[in-house]
Structure 1
Amino acid sequence: MRVWQGARQKKKSILGGVRLVLIGFIGKVILTIFGISLLIFVHELGHFVVAKILNMKVYEFVLGYGSKLFSFKIGETVYGITKIPFGGYVKLEDIKPEEISFEEDRLPVLGKQSLWKRVLVIVGGPLMNLILPIFLLAVIFMAGIPYPTTIIEEVMLYSPAVEAGLKAGDEIVCIECSEIKDWGEATKIIRENPNKTLDFVVIRDNKKINLTATIAEKDNHGFLGIGVKLGTKKYGVLSAFYEGLKATVGIVVILFKLLVSFIQGKQMTGFTGEIIGPVGLAKETFASIQRGIIDYLGVLAQMSIGMGIANLIPVPPLDGGKLVLMGYELVVRKPLKVKTMLIIQAIGIALLLFLMISVTFSDIFGIFALGGR
């Protein structure tokens, strides 16, 4: 009887564990879908907000795709949520199909509004994708950013640090008479002085101790052989937003350089990453959730910036392609013919589909390759 009860209890425990794992997995999947959907929705929100500010007619602003779950109308705009609340779309004022003659008529992008208004509406989407990361990164900076301190956590065996008498718990305050305020300063001095003897001042048990270390050489740089403790730096609201803006601008610059290198068929110096598609984005988002909310927000911020930059690629039907067509309209003083525009868009869609399929296969192959290791 006791054996049977024990087996039953064990079975309940296993089932309970499976349920918890399943619930956790489903939760991560939902957060992954929500995160990617949020980025798409924010992009469309950018188009919507700018159009409204410029008093352009917006017929629909919908969360998701497919048939509507419910909707309501304010003014000329229908707001709604679909049965599949993934992403979203905005339907702006445009030329009606019955007004178009495919042989003769010229079709301006985004209807008959003035060119500058249409340009601003197009730019609004990518711009919103660049604004969102500032807020996400600001939250991360307010929560606290880990940084390496100057307090030694470990000393590697047979390293120059051991020979110098450095110990775990020592705080490096001075190297070669230079005051050390952060680990970056210490690292710079150590790396730039291979095979040289440096004087250190450390604090140990609230006392200053002078030590001398002969720096070894490793990969053409100085090597001491210590690991330091990590601290957490929290920022105030204003400084967090400033740091968020700086980080966003930094990522944008890197992505633009990467995009130029990609177009030129070159490998960007110092960059070892790769372009990923929808599968890769979902994989990265899912993995970030497992690491915690801060990582999740960080990945969303990077993805949002990537989406904003990618949409500016000058290939129709992306926003960048539409801007190119508007540029043509500005120079020539008239839009493209309908037939010409349709051909250009068809070529653009074909190129994007080819790129997406290639990248998706690469993502899937990468997942299986990693799984087989």
Structure 2
Amino acid sequence: MSMLFAIIALGALIFVHEFGHFLFAKLFGVGVEKFSLGFGPKVFGKKVGETEYLLSALPLGGYVKMVGEGEDVELSDEDIKRSFSHKHPLQRMAIVAAGPVFNLLSAWLIFIVIFMMGVPAVTTKVGEVMANKPAAKAGLKTGDLIAAIDGKPVNRWDEFAKIIAEGKIAPLQITVKRGTTPMTFTVTPESSTTKTILGDKVTRPVIGVVAAGDTVIDKFPVSEAFSRGTAQSWTMIKMTVLSMVRLVQRAIPLDTIGGPIMIVKMAGQQAAAGSVNFLAFVALLSVNLGVLNLLPVPILDGGHLVFFGIEVVIGRPVSKKTREIAQQIGLVLLISLMILAFYNDIARMFTGAKL
């Protein structure tokens, strides 16, 4: 079943990506010869109008073949009008950028739907009070339900944690419900230095409590789901970009990179956890696919955007030889990344490391 859910997730994301290229090609009058989900040998194909729609054997990608792609193609006068390579570079940039942008837009829409469906939220019930920490010294106990900080009501753990983390090392009036009895304690946070998931060291106030993990489902109206989905999408984009930077800086280990095997396993795990989890996983994959393809690496969409951008500035295409060399370098980088991802996947299988 994990394989099925992975195929559904990747197939949807590949379709959205290629549909972006396809739609903008049509918008600018570029002929599309093939629209393929997957690479390699054709499994199924049907021609509608000028376009052959294909399902190919290797599901790790797809492509849109447009009229006039490649400089060695012989074109008739009629085809020149519909040729990708004969369009203005700004139009070509729009066609190329549409794929990854559609992935980012689809992630945004998925996050909005998720907030409308309902997301699990952790309550403010305390699961553990750490010994000799500010909360324990003040008198908080396991099972307390935090109700307010300095008179401001709180009912979700992330809201409570944010107030503490963004506050100062100054006394706080924390009101809790112990059973049915409200009680107020004066708690002075202490500084703690930890590492984030991106490898950055951060120093922030803590009081020494851990959530019990009790959850409720929060559903939001369309207007609030829109704003929350937008914020979540932007957060995921920033996190993805920063993660890639940290990988290059080696602040995040290279063995955290995953490939198809990891995606298959995670797809099954998230699907088993429920539709919201699976949709969130698909949205995260979509963000990663969009951001990765916008990187200025030759052979990726971002690399093509760089070449077309240079063409706009200098008024002529980058030389064929320069592009070929750059694309060879880009291909080596991409293959190296794929090999590393497969190696990490296989290593996890043998070592039993958790994903």
TM-score tier after normalising by the smaller chain length: 0.7 to 0.9
AA partner of residue 33 (structure 1):
I
Task: Determine if the alignment matches structure 1 residue 247 to structure 2 residue 232.
Answer: yes
CA distance in 2, matches of 1:149, 1:332: 58
Q: 1:149 to 1:78 in 2, by over 3 A?
A: same
- Give the structure 2 partner of residue 257 of structure 1: 242
SS at match of 2:99: helix
The size of the alignment, in residue pairs, is 329
Q: 1:155 to 1:360 in 2, by over 3 A?
A: closer
Matches within 5 A, 1:261-276: 261-263=246-248, 265-267=249-251, 274-276=256-258
AA partner of residue 246 (structure 1):
A
- Give the structure 2 partner of residue 121 of structure 1: 95
The answer to whether the 8 A contact 1:35-1:300 is kept is: yes
* TM-superposed deviation, 1:71: 0.5
* TM-superposed deviation, 1:174: 3.5
Segment drifting more, 283-292 vs 306-315 = 283-292
The answer to whether the 8 A contact 1:199-1:210 is kept is: no
SS at match of 1:172: strand
- Structure with greater Cα Rg: 1
CA distance in 2, matches of 1:53, 1:368: 49
* TM-superposed deviation, 1:241: 3.0
AA partner of residue 321 (structure 1):
G
* TM-superposed deviation, 1:347: 2.4
- Give the structure 2 partner of residue 223 of structure 1: 207
- Give the structure 1 partner of residue 26 of structure 2: 52
Cα shift readout 1:293-313 (whole Å, capped 9, x = no counterpart): 222211111111111111112
Matches within 5 A, 1:206-355: 209-212=182-185, 219=192, 221-225=205-209, 227-228=211-212, 229-263=214-248, 265-267=249-251, 274-355=256-337
SS at match of 1:55: coil
The answer to whether the 8 A contact 1:41-1:89 is kept is: no
* TM-superposed deviation, 1:87: 4.5
The answer to whether the 8 A contact 2:2-2:264 is kept is: no
Q: Alignment identity in percent?
A: 29
- Give the structure 1 partner of residue 342 of structure 2: 360
Unaligned runs of 5+ in 1: 1-26, 101-108
CA distance in 2, matches of 1:165, 1:353: 55
Unaligned runs of 5+ in 2: 76-82, 194-204
* TM-superposed deviation, 1:114: 1.3
Matches within 5 A, 1:96-111: 97-99=72-74, 110-111=84-85
With normalisation by structure 1, the TM-score equals 0.74
CA distance in 2, matches of 1:125, 1:187: 38
CA RMSD of the aligned region, Å? 3.5
